[in-house]
Structure 1
Amino acid sequence: MMQIELVVHNADIRTMRAERPRAEALAVAGGRIVALGSSADMLALAGPETRRLNAGGRMVLPGLQDAHIHLLNGGTDMVSGPVLYDATSVEALQAALRGFAKANPNGPVMGMGWQAGIFTDENLGRAVLDAAIPDRPCMLYDSSFHNAVINTAAMRAVALTTGQPDPPNGHFVLDAQGTPTGMLHEEATGWVRNRLPPTSHETHMKGLAMGQAHANRHGITGVLDAMIVDDNARAYAEAAANGTLTLRVAGTALVRPEDTAQTALERLSALRASHRDPLFTVHSGKFFFDGVLENRTAAMLEPYADSPGGNAPLMFEPAKIAALFKALDAARFQIHVHAIGDYAVRAALDGIESARRANGNWPALHQIAHIQMLHGSDLPRFRALGVMANMQPLWAIYDPVVPDLWMDMVGEARLPMVYALRDLLDAGAPLCLSSDFPVSTLNPFEIMQTAVTRAASAQARPFQPHQAITIAEALAGYTTAAAAACWRSHETGAIFPGAHADLIVIDRDISTCDPFEIGGTKVLATLLAGVEVYRDTQFDG
């Protein structure tokens, strides 16, 4: 007779399954759910060694999943440099740098999070950083991680001097005399980072521990890490092997414009073959088709609407897109594309369509991430091609602090199709929600609140409210749809017999509370395979 390890009882369980949407209790054996029913029936299955979790009548959900996150890199950035999201002036940024440098007197300073709507090519450069950190290399990424700024010591360390050509898909910002200012756009950030001392494995492991604890605290039990390179894979694999990984990780390995179909396929195949742990797998290829609107590198079908105008090219040639997509699709890799502009989105759809024509249809759920801009004529293609729209609705608001400069670039006529969640769902598109942490918070409840309200607060003007979705749709975006996006919906993302006992207990009923209170939801307990990986100190269940 199987031994019941855990009974969760006195609960309001939302299963995310239509055939049995609610239950009062569940039983777990071997890390999986084996039965659902009344508290009395489930407690009757318990033995003397069975753990009991009394939810106190609170809502219990499947563990949430973030299908576009940079968990390891975000955690690493949290331990290796200052976090600058709240800096709203040069003085505040410099104060944060000085504070971190004083507390951490050795090695390069690698910070993150300055806001591109506040700091620009005109007011941020090496001189600003030199005033705070003059004696060792310093590199600070913006909140999107598509721009960075370095100080003079870092410029010396990487030999960035006047006359250095821009790297492919990147740009060194220059002053009137042609001297680099220290500001970097797109692949110029990679050019610099690859010439600075590498992050140590020890720092990566500390970052992973911090990142996954941060995720578990917010109810996340599964992720798709959206840019895996060798160092990331090594850290995740080590944590999986030594039993310290507290969530399920699927990885998407970076594919670069210089790759051929052969080099990409060889590298991804080696990663997939090497990482088949139940908690860590590599199953997809990541492509950056464009940059971001804030630095004018988003690829649009029509030019930018502001006075400078202009546009940006795709980062991959269309012929190369077709060749790479066909090869990876044929080898049964999932394809995961960063696309901000509507031209980048269309190019991704075109590439997936060419792969389907060549290889036939299979349940890949290839993904296009972000989709800040979308042309209406491309809406039906998501359903027709089985493409998952992987979106971050936290950004679909009028920001109360950071100027929304990108709206002028988009122009009034195109704003109705910005983060078009409602239109995509109505067109039958598969849709999951995610964070892109550390670009923004990974708190799924704040993100779901914005998806439902499209406003920064109850008093704020909503942004394109016709694109709002329901809380039921938002919750599916973080459970059933996210699990499908991560290729684990057969055993996660819902509560049913046979599923992993990945569960969370939360402090309110998000289906009935004021929509503007969803973001304040507190996770009381997070379980992975029936084992607590987070518990709020005030929860006594």
Structure 2
Amino acid sequence: MDPDHPRAEAIAVDGNRILAVGSGAEIAALAGPETRRIDAAGATVLPGLTEAHLHIFSGAAGLSQLQLAQVHGLEALREALAGYAAENPEASLLICKGADYNLFGPGISTTRQLLDQAMADRPVILIAGDHHTAWANTAALELAGILQGAETAVGTEVVMGEDGTATGELREFDAYMLVMRHRNSGGRENLGMTGSEPGVEVTPEQWEEDLETMRRGLAYCASFGFTSLHNMDGNLYQLKLLRELENRGQLISRIEVPFHLTPGMTAEALETASQMAVEFNSDRLRSGRVKMFMDGVIDSGTAVMVEDYADQPGWKGEPLHQAEVFNAICIEADRRGLQISVHAIGDGAVRRVLDVYEAAQKANGPRDSRHRIEHIEVIHPDDIPRVKELGVIYSMQPSHPPGAMDFPLIPWTAKVGAARWPYAFPVAALRDLGVPICFASDWPVADIDPMRSVHAAMTRKPWREDHPDNSVTLQQALKYYTHGGAFAGFDEGRLGSLKPGMLADIVVMDRDLEALAPEEVDSAHAAVTICDGTVIWQA
């Protein structure tokens, strides 16, 4: 990832810095009697990877919860739940992750009645892979006291049936947290996702439990070659957990945690974001960014579109922030020098975010802000050049395009409509304009394995032959996972490329990536992960 020296045979590390990059003979001559040598055996060596969009704590917590990504149909769900329930006899709520919108078959809505057929005697909640929709059985709805419905924030909903009772579908965090708060832990594992702090005092036992969850998540990320993590949910509690690990010498990778500004907050809340940026600013742990949601997701109809949903005339979705308040927040955040990341899925949400970034530049003057838009699943063609003009970073998840990896074509493609397909996940259009791109997974929304995402990005096919080809080359995909992620984090001066003087964040793969066919790239894995000159994971 160094354009002046794109290839080498060997690399030397001294302390936490790269000393030299060159031929095998040149580098071997630098070794001393105590030098540790790692033979990559002809495999690819890369800068340490950056996971530019993940949810570290909820992802780590989910490792111990039932995963449903490969579960389809009533019988398979019944069997999976029975085993999970037997393993967790004391759980007040059985939480399952990664549920497919087509769990019971294409076009079949998941309802509490169907879930009751799988398990009726214990409260169960299934959370969709995108974490924007959940489904609860009757026992869980009764536990939460919402079988007869509940008032929730704009853009969120406890879906009601014709019989006047809840169907079991819960759209967006505010709705399904009504159920989640009744689990034994009180829902601490989702605190960052909602931007909230613990509502009660955390006991010493819970504190150590949460530290172990965070350690488990960091180790899991390291096992894939990640040395830098951009968390996309944040609260002070997570930062304190990470600082405790740093103080104990157990923060094995670099991580950035934002201030999560939720709907209902105003610009005054940014004082906390600024304080977090000052208080947490070490080499491995920092804040300094604000994360917001402008909309939900297309699959549940909560993304904001410019024109009506193709399958729902008259509906465009509702933005999660009022325009005037959102504008004031972003202008003030920009004035404070904070970086901004906004989740924007639909083309209407993307336009609103671009509008406010433009307003911030007019109010405060242009600067190297590197404000980001997370996802851009659909963009209006008129807005494509604006992304480049405004200096916005496109944070893209190759695992998200329906059909590219694990997410099904339906309901996404039907809700968007064929007329908008050419502007979906627009990697080619933005890349050709020179827009900075970083790749990520959005774990636990999607599998964190970067080689699966590289495979998905390389083999992605248009949904129609006359539509743009948004696939990428191996070199482009690796750049977006290394230099692209470093640039998005203002770290390109010290991370993201292998050259003398850079920090020694390195991943050794288990094979030569360039020798693999595109269809085989996802068979590769990290063999050794090095952060700051220290081996933090080894296969």
Q: TM-score, normalised by structure 1?
A: 0.90
Q: Deviations over 1:462-499 (max 9, x none)?
A: 89561222222211110111111122222111111221
Q: Does 1:184 align with 2:170?
A: yes
Residue 144 of structure 1 and its aligned partner are, at CA, apart by 0.6
Aligned to 1:13: none
Alignment of 1:350-429 (within 5 A): 350-398=355-403, 402-429=408-435
Aligned to 2:219: 213
Q: 2:485 aligns with which of 479, 482, 485?
A: 482
Tell me, yes or no, if the aligned pair for 1:449 and 1:518 is still in contact at 8 Å.
yes
Residue 122 of structure 1 and its aligned partner are, at CA, apart by 5.8
Aligned to 1:17: 2
Aligned to 2:437: 431
Aligned to 2:446: 440
Tell me, yes or no, if the aligned pair for 1:161 and 1:179 is still in contact at 8 Å.
yes
Q: Deviations over 1:177-202 (max 9, x none)?
A: 21123320013123443465233444
Aligned to 1:235: 241
Q: Deviations over 1:381-433 (max 9, x none)?
A: 12211100001122335368835211111111111111110011111211111
Secondary structure, counterpart of 1:311 in structure 2? coil
CA distance in 2, matches of 1:202, 1:86: 32
Tell me, yes or no, if the aligned pair for 1:66 and 1:222 is still in contact at 8 Å.
yes
Q: Deviations over 1:323-362 (max 9, x none)?
A: 0001111111110011110010111111111111111222
Tell me, yes or no, if the aligned pair for 2:43 and 2:513 is still in contact at 8 Å.
no
CA distance in 2, matches of 1:39, 1:235: 42
Q: Does 1:269 align with 2:269?
A: no
Q: TM-score, normalised by structure 2?
A: 0.90
Q: 1:112 aligns with which of 97, 118, 122?
A: 97
Moved more, 131-140 or 405-414: 131-140
Moved more, 64-73 or 152-161: 152-161
Secondary structure, counterpart of 1:257 in structure 2? coil
Aligned to 2:187: 198
Aligned to 2:259: 253
Could you say if the C-alpha distance between residues 208 and 68 of structure 1 is closer, same or farther in structure 2, counting changes exceeding 3 Å?
Answer: same
Secondary structure, counterpart of 2:38 in structure 1? strand
CA distance in 2, matches of 1:502, 1:234: 24
CA distance in 2, matches of 1:205, 1:140: 25
Query: How well do the aligned residues superpose, as a CA RMSD in angstroms?
Result: 2.3
Q: 1:500 aligns with which of 496, 503, 521?
A: 503
CA distance in 2, matches of 1:463, 1:476: 28
Secondary structure, counterpart of 2:98 in structure 1? strand
Secondary structure, counterpart of 1:363 in structure 2? coil
Unaligned runs of 5+ in 1: 1-15, 537-541
Could you say if the C-alpha distance between residues 388 and 132 of structure 1 is closer, same or farther in structure 2, counting changes exceeding 3 Å?
Answer: same
CA distance in 2, matches of 1:416, 1:69: 27
Could you say if the C-alpha distance between residues 462 and 216 of structure 1 is closer, same or farther in structure 2, counting changes exceeding 3 Å?
Answer: farther
CA distance in 2, matches of 1:273, 1:137: 43
Secondary structure, counterpart of 1:105 in structure 2? coil
Tell me, yes or no, if the aligned pair for 1:113 and 1:142 is still in contact at 8 Å.
yes
CA distance in 2, matches of 1:257, 1:195: 23
Q: Deviations over 1:435-471 (max 9, x none)?
A: 1111111111111122122049xxx998956122222
Secondary structure, counterpart of 1:54 in structure 2? coil
Moved more, 478-487 or 137-146: 137-146
Q: Does 1:310 align with 2:319?
A: no
Paired AA for residue 289 in structure 1: M
Aligned to 2:158: 172
Moved more, 122-131 or 318-327: 122-131
CA distance in 1, matches of 2:230, 2:491: 11
Moved more, 372-381 or 231-240: 231-240
Secondary structure, counterpart of 2:95 in structure 1? strand
Q: Deviations over 1:260-301 (max 9, x none)?
A: 1012x1221232233223211112111111111111111010
Tell me, yes or no, if the aligned pair for 1:240 and 1:277 is still in contact at 8 Å.
no
CA distance in 1, matches of 2:408, 2:366: 43
Tell me, yes or no, if the aligned pair for 2:52 and 2:395 is still in contact at 8 Å.
yes
Aligned to 1:102: 86
- The percentage of aligned residue pairs carrying the same residue is 34
CA distance in 1, matches of 2:451, 2:258: 25
Residue 535 of structure 1 and its aligned partner are, at CA, apart by 1.6
Q: Does 1:84 align with 2:90?
A: no
Aligned to 2:537: 534
Could you say if the C-alpha distance between residues 288 and 213 of structure 1 is closer, same or farther in structure 2, counting changes exceeding 3 Å?
Answer: same
Tell me, yes or no, if the aligned pair for 1:454 and 1:462 is still in contact at 8 Å.
no
Paired AA for residue 533 in structure 1: I
Aligned to 1:225: 231
Residue 139 of structure 1 and its aligned partner are, at CA, apart by 2.7
Could you say if the C-alpha distance between residues 410 and 488 of structure 1 is closer, same or farther in structure 2, counting changes exceeding 3 Å?
Answer: same
CA distance in 2, matches of 1:62, 1:448: 15
Select the structure that is richer in strand.
Answer: 1
CA distance in 2, matches of 1:99, 1:59: 41
Secondary structure, counterpart of 2:19 in structure 1? strand
Could you say if the C-alpha distance between residues 203 and 512 of structure 1 is closer, same or farther in structure 2, counting changes exceeding 3 Å?
Answer: same
Aligned to 1:44: 29
Secondary structure, counterpart of 1:467 in structure 2? coil
Could you say if the C-alpha distance between residues 31 and 347 of structure 1 is closer, same or farther in structure 2, counting changes exceeding 3 Å?
Answer: same
Paired AA for residue 149 in structure 1: W
Q: Deviations over 1:44-88 (max 9, x none)?
A: 222222211122222110011111111221111112x20111111
Q: Does 1:298 align with 2:303?
A: yes
Unaligned runs of 5+ in 2: 189-205
Aligned to 1:93: 77
Tell me, yes or no, if the aligned pair for 1:397 and 1:450 is still in contact at 8 Å.
no
Tell me, yes or no, if the aligned pair for 2:295 and 2:346 is still in contact at 8 Å.
yes
CA distance in 2, matches of 1:397, 1:173: 25
Residue 168 of structure 1 and its aligned partner are, at CA, apart by 2.8
CA distance in 2, matches of 1:224, 1:95: 36
Q: Deviations over 1:114-173 (max 9, x none)?
A: 011335996433344445555554332111100112234433443324252233321001
Moved more, 329-338 or 158-167: 158-167
Secondary structure, counterpart of 1:468 in structure 2? coil
Secondary structure, counterpart of 1:394 in structure 2? coil
Q: 1:146 aligns with which of 109, 132, 138?
A: 132
Residue 313 of structure 1 and its aligned partner are, at CA, apart by 1.6
Tell me, yes or no, if the aligned pair for 1:368 and 1:390 is still in contact at 8 Å.
yes
Tell me, yes or no, if the aligned pair for 1:454 and 1:464 is still in contact at 8 Å.
no
Moved more, 155-164 or 279-288: 155-164
Paired AA for residue 442 in structure 1: I
CA distance in 2, matches of 1:105, 1:434: 36
